[in-house]
Chain A
Amino acid sequence: MATTDRRTAVGTGVGFVVILVWCLLPVVWILSLSFKGVDETAAGSPQFLPKDWTLQNYKDILANPDFLDALRNSLGISLIATLLSVVFATLAAYAIARLEFKGKRVVLSIALAIAMFPVVSLVGPLFDMWTAIGLFNTWPGLIIPYMSFTLPLAIWTLSAFFREIPWEMEQAAQVDGATSWQAFRKVIVPLAAPGVFTAAILTFFFAWNEFVLAISLTTTTGSRTVPAQMSFFVGPDPFNPPYGQLATASVVVTVPIIIIVLLFQRKIVSGLTSGAVKG
Chain B
Amino acid sequence: MASIEMKNIVKKYGDGFPAVNDVSIDVADGEFVILVGPSGCGKSTLLRMIVGLEDITSGDMVIGGQRMNDLAPRDRNLAMVFQNYALYPHLSVYENIAFPLRLKGDVPEQEIDTKVREASKTLELDEHLERKPGNLSGGQRQRVAMGRAIVRDADAFLFDEPLSNLDAKLRGQMRTEIARLQKRLGITTVYVTHDQTEAMTLGDRVAVLKRGVLQQLASPRQLYTNPVNLFVAGFIGSPPMNFLPATVEGNTLSLPFGSVEISEERAAKARDRGLLIAGIRPEHFEDASVVDTRGGTTFTASVDFVEWLGNESYAYIPFEAPPEVTEKLLELEKDLDGDAMRTQMVVSLDGASRITEGDQAEIWVDTSKIHLFDPSTGENLTVDAGNAGSSPALEPAHAGGAHAAQ
A: residues with CB less than 8 A from B are: 166, 168-169, 171-179, 182, 186-187, 190-191, 193, 271-279
User: Residues of B contacting A193 with CB < 8 Å?
Assistant: 90
User: Residues of B contacting A171 with CB < 8 Å?
Assistant: 53, 73, 82, 86
Contact (Cβ within 8 A) A175 B90 = no
Cα of A168 to Cα of B87 in the assembled complex, Å: 9
Contact (Cβ within 8 A) B89 A172 = no
Q: Can you offer 5 A-B residue contacts whose CB atoms are under 8 A?
A: A175-B51, A175-B80, A177-B74, A275-B141, A278-B85
The 7 closest A-B pairs by CB, nearest first: A275-B134, A277-B84, A172-B86, A176-B100, A168-B86, A276-B89, A177-B103
Contact (Cβ within 8 A) A276 B103 = no
Q: Does B72 contact A (CB under 8 A)?
A: yes
B134-148 vs A: 1/0 string, CB under 8 Å?
111010010000001
Contact (Cβ within 8 A) B86 A174 = no
Closest to B166 in A: A278
Contact (Cβ within 8 A) A275 B73 = no
Q: Nearest-CB distance from A95 to chain B (Å)?
A: 19
Contact (Cβ within 8 A) B88 A276 = yes
Q: Nearest-CB distance from A169 to chain B (Å)?
A: 6
User: Residues of B contacting A276 with CB < 8 Å?
Assistant: 86-89, 133-134
B86-105 vs A: 1/0 string, CB under 8 Å?
11111000000001100110
Q: Nearest-CB distance from A183 to chain B (Å)?
A: 9
Cα of A246 to Cα of B137 in the assembled complex, Å: 57
User: Residues of B contacting A279 with CB < 8 Å?
Assistant: 134
User: Residues of A contacting B165 with CB < 8 Å?
Assistant: 278
Q: Nearest-CB distance from B343 to chain A (Å)?
A: 39
Contact (Cβ within 8 A) A187 B138 = no
Cα of A278 to Cα of B161 in the assembled complex, Å: 13
**14 additional contacts, CB 8 Å, given A166-B84, A275-B134?**
A168-B84, A174-B52, A175-B78, A175-B80, A176-B74, A177-B74, A177-B103, A177-B104, A178-B103, A191-B88, A276-B86, A276-B88, A277-B86, A278-B84
User: Residues of A contacting B136 with CB < 8 Å?
Assistant: 275
Contact (Cβ within 8 A) B74 A178 = yes
Cα of A187 to Cα of B91 in the assembled complex, Å: 9
Cα of A171 to Cα of B82 in the assembled complex, Å: 9
Contact (Cβ within 8 A) A272 B148 = no
Q: How many A-B residue pairs have CB under 8 A?
A: 85
User: Residues of B contacting A274 with CB < 8 Å?
Assistant: 89, 134
Q: Nearest-CB distance from A272 to chain B (Å)?
A: 7
Cα of A126 to Cα of B103 in the assembled complex, Å: 47
Q: Nearest-CB distance from B158 to chain A (Å)?
A: 8
Cα of A190 to Cα of B95 in the assembled complex, Å: 14
Contact (Cβ within 8 A) A191 B89 = yes
Cα of A119 to Cα of B88 in the assembled complex, Å: 42
Q: Does B209 contact A (CB under 8 A)?
A: no
Cβ 8 A contact of B74, one of A174, A186, A277, A278:
A174
Cβ 8 A contact of B141, one of A178, A190, A278:
A278
Cα of A172 to Cα of B88 in the assembled complex, Å: 9
Q: Does B132 contact A (CB under 8 A)?
A: yes
Residue of B52, B86, B135, B152 with most chain A CB atoms under a 10 A cut-off: B86
User: Residues of B contacting A172 with CB < 8 Å?
Assistant: 80, 82, 86-88
B44-56 vs A: 1/0 string, CB under 8 Å?
0000000111000
**Interface size class of chain B, counting residues whose CB lies under 8 Å from the partner chain:** 20 to 34
Q: Does B278 contact A (CB under 8 A)?
A: no
Cα of A202 to Cα of B53 in the assembled complex, Å: 36
Cα of A193 to Cα of B91 in the assembled complex, Å: 13
User: Residues of B contacting A275 with CB < 8 Å?
Assistant: 87, 89, 132-136, 141
User: Residues of A contacting B87 with CB < 8 Å?
Assistant: 172, 275-276
Cβ 8 A contact of A278, one of B53, B72, B138:
B138
Q: Nearest-CB distance from A186 to chain B (Å)?
A: 8
Q: Nearest-CB distance from A234 to chain B (Å)?
A: 52
Q: Nearest-CB distance from A129 to chain B (Å)?
A: 43
Cα of A271 to Cα of B138 in the assembled complex, Å: 18
Q: Does B79 contact A (CB under 8 A)?
A: yes
Contact (Cβ within 8 A) A191 B90 = yes
User: Residues of A contacting B104 with CB < 8 Å?
Assistant: 177
User: Residues of B contacting A178 with CB < 8 Å?
Assistant: 74, 103
Cα of A169 to Cα of B87 in the assembled complex, Å: 7
Contact (Cβ within 8 A) A179 B74 = yes
Cα of A273 to Cα of B133 in the assembled complex, Å: 10
Cα of A186 to Cα of B105 in the assembled complex, Å: 13
CB contact under 8 A between A190 and B80, given known A176-B103, A177-B100, A275-B134:
no
User: Residues of B contacting A177 with CB < 8 Å?
Assistant: 74, 100, 103-104, 152
Contact (Cβ within 8 A) B84 A176 = no
CB contact under 8 A between A168 and B90, given known A176-B99, A179-B74:
no
Cα of A273 to Cα of B132 in the assembled complex, Å: 11
CB contact under 8 A between A175 and B53, given known A168-B84, A276-B133:
yes
Cα of A172 to Cα of B99 in the assembled complex, Å: 10
Closest to A172 in B: B86
In chain B, positions 39-84 with a C-beta closer than 8 Å to chain A are: 51-53, 72-74, 78-80, 82, 84
Contact (Cβ within 8 A) A169 B103 = no
Cα of A166 to Cα of B88 in the assembled complex, Å: 11
Closest to A174 in B: B73
Cα of A271 to Cα of B134 in the assembled complex, Å: 9
Residue of A176, A186, A273, A274 with most chain B CB atoms under a 10 A cut-off: A176
User: Residues of A contacting B99 with CB < 8 Å?
Assistant: 173, 176, 186
Q: Nearest-CB distance from A176 to chain B (Å)?
A: 4
CB contact under 8 A between A190 and B90, given known A175-B73, A177-B74:
yes
Cα of A278 to Cα of B164 in the assembled complex, Å: 10
CB contact under 8 A between A166 and B86, given known A171-B53, A175-B73:
yes
Q: Nearest-CB distance from A240 to chain B (Å)?
A: 55
Q: Nearest-CB distance from B163 to chain A (Å)?
A: 12
